[in-house]
Amino acid sequence: MLIEYLKKRIWPYKDKKKPIHILRQQRLVRIAMSSIIVYSGYAKRLREQAILKDKIPPWRIINYPHIINPEDSPIPIRFDNYVRPETFEKNLKFLKNHFDIIPLPRLLKAIHNGERIKTDAISITFDHCWADAYASAFPLLKAYKIPATFFISSAYPNTYNLTWQDTLRVALFILKNSQIPFPELSALGQEFNEWIEEITEDFSISENVIELLIDFLTTEAPEIRLKCVMDILAHVQVMGEMPEFSMYANWDEIREMSNHELISIGTHGHGHKNLKELSREELIEDMQLGLKHLRDNKIETIQALSLPGGMFNNQLQIQLSEMNLRFALGNVVGFDIDPSKHGTIILERVNIDEACASSHSILTLRILSVPIPTQRYIRK
């Protein structure tokens, strides 16, 4: 399984970085093509046809990541997991002028009641409630009077806890900065170590390889994932203790946000676990813990769950339905909002990052779910 996975994913990591002029050319082509598609009205026509065929919903839920300059972050942030504050502010101005931004609770109520929803309606969400959500996103949302919903993983506020992904990033970057080779991971076997040797120089650690490893471990069994994380942490602890980072808004800040008329709060579970991997009892415990921490901190929540990692399957949907959860937000293609069929309705979100947020035309196409046909126009 490992080799098959790596063969599919190896090409972006095996090659050297593309020259900067090629990257700039590709970026300019994307902006030019997206501008033509948007401002010619072609994107709108494609979207209307897709809505008529029930391929996409008339409304969109967009999800923002970190609102931070990545160079200011105390831990490494992957390229698709941040939007710069100045870009976010420009987005808010643009979205306010070109879309009908409505609170997520109102959108969910309209969907539940079968009400007609405008085709330009969008709702804005954030996961985790990072410290930068409170420091950067919240003030801008208030300034522009734009509603948003923040989904909270309750194991993280007021702690130094990190997700396993961020723990792995920090540990491997410590090894990288100390010029220590990529450690052997016995849980993945000899073929993984041979692959590392093939695509790196002297087992050197790179950001691309770190992200590829994280992506792969996401698909692996929890016990293999944990063994790999512990093996890597053991190498770091030889040099001293892992540094501590407070990456999340604290409960006082989250409570302040929740008391504002523009802000609503939802649950992101407790430990940011892949809910598909949990037994029914573990799922109930994680959900109850998440809601209990919110209640204990006097924070009201909406009837919706943001699925950690956006991951779900039919079994998880059935289990959430048995818990009388009305909505869950995740990575789903297409939509079916008939609760009589599914109980819990899984709603798709559009993930925004700096690459698309920094161009209004690309952002528009991302929200409208219209692809940018640029590949054929870019010389290899």
pLDDT tens figures, 213-251: 898 888 889 999 999 999 999 999 888 778 888 899 999
> Which pLDDT value is given to residue 7?
47
Q: Minimum mean pLDDT among 26-40, 114-128, 255-269: which range?
A: 26-40
Per-residue pLDDT at 8 exceeds 80 = no
State residue 313's pLDDT score.
82
Rounded Cα–Cα distance for residues 50 and 66 (Å): 31
- pLDDT tens for 277-295 read 999 999 999 999 999 999 9
In this structure, of 105-114, 141-150, 291-300, the range with the lowest mean pLDDT score is: 105-114
CA-nearest of 175, 311, 153, 329 to 247 is 153
Instruction: Give the start-to-end residue ranges of the domains of the chain.
Output: 20-161+245-315+351-377, 163-237
121/58 Cα distance (integer angstroms): 8
pLDDT of 282: 95
Residue count of the chain, please give it.
380
| pLDDT more than 90, % of the chain | 49
Arch. (CATH architecture) of 20-161+245-315+351-377: Alpha-Beta Barrel (3.20)
pTM (predicted TM-score): 0.88
- Position 102 scores a pLDDT of 97
Q: Can you tell me the mean pLDDT for 27-53? A: 83
Pairing type for strands 148-152 and 263-267 reads: parallel
CB-based contact 83:66 (threshold 8 Å): yes
How much is the pLDDT for 241? 78
